[in-house]
Amino acid sequence: MPFDMPRHDWSRDEIKALYELPLDTLIGRALAVKQANWADGKIQKSQLLSIKTGGCAENCGYCSQSAHFDTGLEASKLMPLNEVVEAAREAKAGGADRFCMGAAWRELKDRDLPKVADMIRAVKAEGMETCVTLGMLGEGQAEKLAEAGLDYYNHNLDTSREYYDKVVTTRTYEDRIDTLGKAREAGLNLCVGGILGMGESREDRIGLIHELAQLTPHPESVPINMLVPIEGTPLGDSPEIPVTEMARAIAVCRVVFPKSWVRLSAGREGMSEGEQALCLLAGANSIFVGARLLTTDNPGEDRDASLLKNTGFEAVARDVMQV
Ligand code: SAM
Ligand code: DTB
Ligand code: SF4
């Protein structure tokens, strides 16, 4: 079977069979796909900025920004344009090529759209790829974001369909899929992934990947997050899961989404360099850089320089990869 043909007919059993291979065999498969499709071995770097923090109407059980839980986070208004531009310039200077702006909204309101569109235009003018994550989209909104120069819309499915109502009850899985459809219709690239470590079972992790695999075309970017536990949220004391589960999920995504960026996303702050290296070795080819994610810490420049130097992933040339 060619390694470069994305398939949309993965059965849940096939994904489960891959997921449960011995780790070396699974990573071996993932690396063959990576080599065939991403031979330069480069790690793509995105940087996040919270443009509107806290006070969110949704009750996502993992999130520091939900108004339903007391997490001690101070809510803020939409950030002024000049501060966004300044942050984008700093991110670019730090080596990021994609700038992802996140807002703690249940849905994008028409009154906020022109301000977000200005941010997208300004970040694009700085020479970066643009991504936003603004909650649910209404009719015609995705088109306006696309006109402003938006490259990616992030909207995660988070977990399996079956486990979803253990995580959030203020919206449905179908609501998420509906917004993804609107973004796709407007010609946007999609960034869609999930979170591990929320008390879900391995079956749920497999179910999440199966749902993502059915999106046609596949999302161009698949972020896999390890839960960052937040005190005060319902999922804040979820039991830790082995990092090998993260590596398995990433490796399966590498195989199932041969042409997509697979991002080792939130959760790196709590991992050792060796654990992060395992996840990169499993086939992830993108990370969030910078010292902050949205509301929590991320390893930052020095630790990332060490990770990328020691793995050599930033500089591996095509012909070296193919030896
Ligand atoms: N409000 C928008 C939404 O939920 O679509 C955008 C912002 S939201 C913070 C973006 C994504 O971050 C969520 O879908 C979730 O997958 C991830 N996320 C949020 N809190 C997290 C946490 N504590 N640990 C890991 N991932 C998290
Ligand atoms: C994604 O999958 N993870 C990012 C981004 N897409 C928006 C967000 C991670 C947030 C981690 C918790 C926080 O910093 O608030
Ligand atoms: Fe709101 Fe997004 Fe947090 Fe859910 S994940 S509470 S929608 S900011």
Task: Look up residue 36 and give its amino acid.
Answer: A
Question: Ligand 3 within 6 A of 56 CB?
Answer: yes
The predicted pLDDT at position 2 comes to 52
Asked if residues 235 and 244 have their Cβ atoms less than 8 Å apart, the reply is no
The predicted pLDDT at position 304 comes to 95
191 is catalytic: yes
The percent of residues above 70 in pLDDT, for the chain, comes to: 96
The predicted pLDDT at position 42 comes to 86
CA 226 to ligand 1: nearest atom? 25
Token pair for 263 = 């991002």
Helix/strand/coil for 198: coil
- In terms of CATH, what superfamily is 12-309? Aldolase class I (3.20.20.70)
Question: Ligand 1 within 6 A of 163 CB?
Answer: no
If you measure from the C-alpha of residue 265 to the centroid of ligand 2, how many angstroms do you get, rounded to a whole number? 7
Chain centroid to Cα 253, Å, comes to: 12
263 is catalytic: yes
Asked if residues 224 and 253 have their Cβ atoms less than 8 Å apart, the reply is yes
The predicted pLDDT at position 29 comes to 98
Q: Which ligand is nearest to the CA of 228?
A: 1
Of 263 and 312, the structure prediction assigns the larger pLDDT to 263
* C-alpha angle 164-257-238 in degrees, rounded to nearest 5: 30
Q: Which residue, among 238, 208, 233, has the nearest Cα to 222 in the 3D structure?
A: 208
Task: Look up residue 8 and give its amino acid.
Answer: H
Q: Whose CA is nearest to atom 25 of ligand 1?
A: 227
The predicted pLDDT at position 323 comes to 41
Of 287 and 314, the structure prediction assigns the larger pLDDT to 287
Token pair for 36 = 């065939």
d(CA 84, CA 237) in angstroms, rounded, equals 33
Helix/strand/coil for 308: helix
What residues pair up with 224 in beta bridges, in sequence order? 194, 264
Q: Read off the pLDDT of each residue in 44-72 and give the average, rounded to a whole number.
A: 97
Asked if residues 57 and 94 have their Cβ atoms less than 8 Å apart, the reply is no
Given 171, 205, 254, 263, the catalytic residue = 263
DSSP state of 151: -
Q: Which residue, among 186, 187, 180, has the nearest Cα to 222 in the 3D structure?
A: 180
d(CA 131, CA 308) in angstroms, rounded, equals 24
- Mean residue pLDDT of the chain comes to 95
Token pair for 156 = 């995660």
If you measure from the C-alpha of residue 318 to the centroid of ligand 2, how many angstroms do you get, rounded to a whole number? 31
22-57 residue pLDDT tens: 999 999 999 999 999 998 888 999 999 999 999 999
The predicted pLDDT at position 169 comes to 98
Q: Is the predicted pLDDT of residue 319 greater than 90, yes or no? A: no
In which band, very low, low, confident or very high, does the pLDDT at 313 lie, cut at 50, 70 and 90?
Answer: confident
Instruction: Tell me which H or E stretch contains 132.
Output: strand 129-133
d(CA 93, CA 86) in angstroms, rounded, equals 11
Question: Ligand 1 within 6 A of 129 CB?
Answer: no
91-150 residue pLDDT tens: 999 999 999 999 999 999 999 999 999 999 999 999 999 999 999 999 999 999 999 999
Ligand 2 site: residues with CB under 6 angstroms? 48, 64, 100, 102, 133, 154, 156, 193, 223, 225, 228, 265-266, 293-296
What is the number of residues in the chain? 323
**Angle of helix 243-256 versus helix 12-19 axis, rounded to 10:** 130
Question: Ligand 3 within 6 A of 204 CB?
Answer: no
The percent of residues above 90 in pLDDT, for the chain, comes to: 93
Give me the residue spans of the domains in the chain.
Answer: 12-309
Q: Is the predicted pLDDT of residue 219 greater than 50, yes or no? A: yes
CA 133 to ligand 1: nearest atom? 6
131 is catalytic: yes
d(CA 227, CA 103) in angstroms, rounded, equals 19
Task: Look up residue 132 and give its amino acid.
Answer: V
